[in-house]
Amino acid sequence: MSRVVQVSVIGAATGDDELLGHAESVGRLLAESGAAVVCGGGSGVMEAASRGARSVGGTVIGVLRGEEAREANEFVTHVVATGTGHARNLAVVASGDAVIAVGGEWGTLSEIAFARKLGKTVVALDSWTLRNRAGSDLGIDDAGTPEQAVEAAMRGVRSSAS
């Protein structure tokens, strides 16, 4: 891949210390691997992943719901102000070469669905893991640690590039 790999990190605008610690580690590990972090640019998991990436000089692209760039958390390096509300969830996951879900609520579930519909690798870290009515796996990798999540996402990027 000739451009910088972009990995979308999705999750709720809130979270407990453990979950936010996982998100921060994911952001840091992605940046250390050379990937840019794409997120919703807000608080909670988004801010923690942004902080982690920036702590090692990484790039963070915040795709905002609102129209004002100033709505982004302080760690975002590039802002896309969409003015589209929750519809921006599609832009967040479509902009990533892979997706890591850390925790999450209904918005995260919608992003996972969009990502799978687009054929993206999705890795769940303390997040939604889904099966259809027949019990079939829906292609969401379940990771137990931030390191496993980043490795699975980067493996998915490498396999889709070949």
Strands 36-39 and 121-125, how do they pair?
unpaired
pLDDT computed for residue 159 by the predictor: 84
CB atoms within 10 A of CB 15: 23
Mean pLDDT value of segment 44-54: 98
The two structure tokens encoding residue 153 = 């996402």
pLDDT computed for residue 137 by the predictor: 66
CB atoms within 10 A of CB 64: 26
pLDDT computed for residue 1 by the predictor: 55
The CATH classification number of 6-161 equals: 3.40.50.450
Angle between helix 17-32 and helix 146-161 axes, rounded to 10 deg: 40
Mean pLDDT value of segment 34-41: 97
pLDDT computed for residue 139 by the predictor: 80
